[in-house]
Amino acid sequence: MALRRDLYKVWVLPLGCTVMATKAIHPARGAPCLSARAKLAWLLLLAGLSAVVQTHAAHRLVIWGGADTAPGPLPIEFQTRVAAVAAGDFHGLALDWDGRVRSWGDNTFGQTSVPTSLNRQPVLQIAAGNVHSLALLWNGTVLAWGRSSGQFGDYSQDAVPAGLSKVRTLAAGAAHSLALKRDGTVVAWGFNQDGQCQVPAGLGGVVAVAGGMYHSLALRKDGTVSAWGNNFYGQSTVPAGLDKVVAVAAGGFHSLALRQNGTVVSWGSYGMMRYAVPAGLSKVIAIATGDYHSLALKSDGTVVAWGSNSANQCSVPPGLKRVAAISAHGQLSAAITH
């Protein structure tokens, strides 16, 4: 889930970690922590993790695309409490402002059977693959549930590597998972037929990761990008000279990078088709990718979509505005408005 930073006061921590809170609160300078959420934010800051703290009373989740594969709408009782959303092929996850995970949609492989242990500890981040789900806990550990079957066989991407800890952020590919640790290193597990779990030797200084269908991306703190895994469509061939990158996203067979100047760079292909970034696209503050489509959130709170529209995943709902975050997976698109 990609978030608008201009809606929050932001602290940038080592390796790009951020804590977003209701106002600039600095205990060391004697300023009071005015809410439980703000106190939680500072606890997480001191732990070197990342958190998002609500700044608006109500948020609304909007989902479009997906055709017959959509997980359906988020149950109405959760729709105004959504802090983050993650969509798999047939299921959805939502993280509410109290750090609880909600799930809905298909549960054939247990992908919506949220572990009961998650009800006893705050969750910082969620991610969803085709039929598996991930949660990053406040203590830097990871829980996973669901699995991959059918097209991918069973490659145990729901089995978190033993001893994995000090995780700062997560990403889910179609059938593999990535964990970025606080020391800037990356751990990957799951389906590895194309080497998408074979993290390049010596890779460090990473501030963000992204998982595609069969490839993986890492953004380094120097603004450059590393890619590995399947490269049939050039999705793992990072354009020469690409720098000053602040965010990455990995689709089915394409990759995106958001640069400091608010422009977007794309490489690879959308399956058999190639879709260029819309001409003149600028002032972008967040990006997201599905299998064959891409989303960009602009600084004015509007969303631009391009790529395959076979399931209406690029048909941005008329009047959609005041968007705070975007997400995409498969043929689905999602936005949280404020």
Distance separating alpha carbons of residues 239 and 252, to the nearest angstrom: 18
Domain with CATH 2.130.10.30 in the chain: 89-191
First to last CA, the chain: 15
Rg (CA), the chain: 18
Distance separating alpha carbons of residues 23 and 221, to the nearest angstrom: 26
Read out DSSP for 54-103? Answer: --SS--EEEEEE-GGG---PPPGGGTTSEEEEEE-SSEEEEEETTS-EEE
Q: What fold characterizes domain 89-191? A: Methylamine Dehydrogenase; Chain H (2.130.10)
Q: How many residues are recorded in the chain? A: 338
Give the SS3 label for residue 231: coil
Cα separations (Å) of 114 from 91, 163, 287, 316? 12, 21, 27, 30
CA atoms within 13 A on the CB side of 230: 23
* Tens digits of pLDDT across the chain (338 residues): 665 544 433 322 222 222 232 222 233 333 333 333 333 333 333 333 333 333 334 578 888 887 555 565 555 555 557 888 888 888 888 888 878 898 888 888 889 889 888 877 889 999 999 889 999 999 999 999 987 443 444 445 557 999 999 999 999 999 999 999 999 999 999 999 999 999 999 999 999 999 999 999 999 999 999 999 999 999 999 999 999 999 999 999 999 999 999 999 999 987 667 789 999 999 999 999 999 999 999 999 999 999 999 999 999 999 999 999 999 988 889 898 88
pTM: 0.82
